[in-house]
A and B are shown apart, each in its own frame.
Chain A
Amino acid sequence: MPISSLPSQLKSGSPPAGDSTVQDEHRHFKVLDVTMKRHRHQPDALIEVLHQAQAAFGYLELEVLAYVAKGLKLPLSKVYGVATFYHLFSLKPSGAHTCVVCLGTACHVKGASALITALENELGIKVGETTADNQVSLMTARCLGACGLAPAMVIDEVVSGKQCPDTALEQIRALSGK
C-alpha cells in the first residue's frame, strides 16, 4: 500500500463537496490533529493518539498510522510496532457487531471454552476474526471483572452472564435476525 498518499483533501484543506465518506474522513483527521496538538506533538503521546484515532476511524488503517507517525515525528516501524503489540488496537475494520467472550479464570472454569467453540462453529471464524459479511467480530477478554456472572459474554457492550452454548448462540442468531 502506498503510504505516501495521505488524504489529499487534508493538504488542500477543503473536502470535495457532496462526498459524505470523504467528509467523514476529513473530520476524523481533524480530530486527530486536535489530539496531537493537545499533546504538543510529543512522541510519548503515541498510545493516547492511537486510542483517539481508533475511536474516530473505528480501526487503524496504515494510512492513519503513517499520519500519526509524521505528526508525532516517530519512525514508521515504531508506530506499527506499538499498534500491533496491543490487542486493543485493530488494524482491520471490525464487524458491525462485536462479541467478546471472557476467558478469565472464573469464566474459564465455568466453561467459557465451550462457548467459544460453539460460536466459532456457528460463525465459521476463529477468535480475533470477523465474518465474511462484516457482521460479527469474535473476540476474547481476560477477565471482565464480573466473575459472579461466569461464564460471561459481551455483545455490543452489553454484558450477559451465566451463558451456555445454547444461550450464546441464541443471542448471536438474534443479531442477524435469524
Chain B
Amino acid sequence: MTVKTLKIDDIDVAIAAGSTILQAAQEASIPIPTLCHLEGLTPVAACRMCMVEIEGTSKLFPACVTEVGEGMVVSTNTPKLQGYRRMNVELLFAEGNHVCAICVANDNCELQDLAVEVGIDHSRFPYQFPKRSIDLSHPQFGIDHNRCILCTRCVRVCDEVEGAHVWDVAQRGSACHITSGMDQPWGEVSACTSCGKCVDACPTGAIFHKGETTGEKQRDREKLAFLMNAREHQQWTR
C-alpha cells in the first residue's frame, strides 16, 4: 500500500494513496463541513460545503471527492472558505422553505447545525418561497419537498444499499426535485420495501416517519453505518 503525506491546516497527515482529502482530514481530526457526503455511499460532490484550498492553485476543491497527493498543502478554514460556506448555507435556506420552528427535524438537522456553525440567523439572498408539494401517500413515511436540499442521499441509499432505486432527480434548474417511481405518489411505488433507510439518510426533515411532530424526527444512522460496514468489511456484528 502506497502512502501519501500531506499537510492539512499545518498538521502532517499520512494516508493510503487514493484516499480523499476529507478522509485524511478526518484521520487528523480536522473538521470539514459536509452535507451530501454520507459514509458508505458513492460521493457525488453535490453540495459544495466541503470546498478546500490547495496551495499552488486558486481553484477550490471538494474535499469529499478530491484524492490526496504527495506533498499537498491543504487549508480547510481560510476566511475565503468561511465566506463561501456561509453563502452556500444562506443560498440553501433562500432556495427552499425551511421553517425550523415547525419542522420535524428541529434540533436534529444537519442543515440547521451548519447554519449555527457558520453563524447564520437570516439569509442575505431573497427567499424564493417556491411552491413545493408534500407526499403523505406512504403508509409509514412522508416527504416534504419544502425541506429538501437535493443532496441525493435518499436516492443513493435506496439504490446502493437497499437496491430498490425508488428515488431519482427529476427536472432541472429551479424545477429540480426528488421523484419517486414514474412520478408516482411514494405509496404507490411497488419497488419500495418500506425499509426506512431514506429516512435515516436524509440530513433534514424532508423525509420523516409519519406521526412525528415538531422536533421529533428519529433517525438510526448507526443502522446505516452498520449495514455499510457489514457489506464492505464483512463484519456482521454491531
- A residues whose Cβ falls under 8 Å from a Cβ of B: 3, 62, 65-66, 69, 75-81, 84-85
Contacts and interface: CB of A to CB of B under 8 A. Distances in A.
Nearest to A87: B172
Interface of B: 159, 165-172, 179-184, 189, 191
B184 A75 contact: no
A73 B171 CA distance: 22
A1 to B, nearest CB: 8
A44 B180 CA distance: 21
A84 B181 contact: no
B170 A76 contact: no
A75 B179 contact: no
B169 A75 contact: no
B182 A81 contact: no
Contacts of B169: 81, 85
B159 to A, nearest CB: 7
Contacts of A75: 159, 165-166, 168, 191
Contacts of A65: 182
Contacts of B172: 84-85
Given A62-B183, A65-B182, A84 B191 contact: no
21 contacts: A62-B183, A65-B182, A69-B182, A75-B166, A76-B191, A77-B166, A77-B168, A77-B181, A77-B189, A78-B168, A79-B182, A80-B168, A80-B170, A81-B168, A81-B169, A81-B170, A84-B170, A84-B171, A84-B179, A85-B169, A85-B171
A76 B167 CA distance: 9
In the complex, the 9 A-B pairs of residues with the closest C-beta atoms, listed nearest first: A77-B168, A75-B165, A81-B168, A76-B182, A84-B170, A76-B181, A84-B171, A81-B170, A78-B168
A98 B100 CA distance: 46
Nearest to A83: B170
Contacts of B171: 84-85
A84 B181 CA distance: 13
A3 B184 CA distance: 9
Contacts of A69: 182
Contacts of B167: 77
Contacts of A76: 181-182, 184, 189, 191
Nearest to A62: B182
A85 to B, nearest CB: 5
Nearest to A81: B168
Contacts of A81: 168-170, 179
Contacts of B166: 75, 77
A115 to B, nearest CB: 23
A111 B193 CA distance: 54
Contacts of A80: 168, 170, 179, 181-183
Contacts of B168: 75, 77-78, 80-81
B80 to A, nearest CB: 32
Which of B182, B184, B191 has the most chain A CB atoms closer than 10 A to its own CB? B182
A174 B211 CA distance: 59
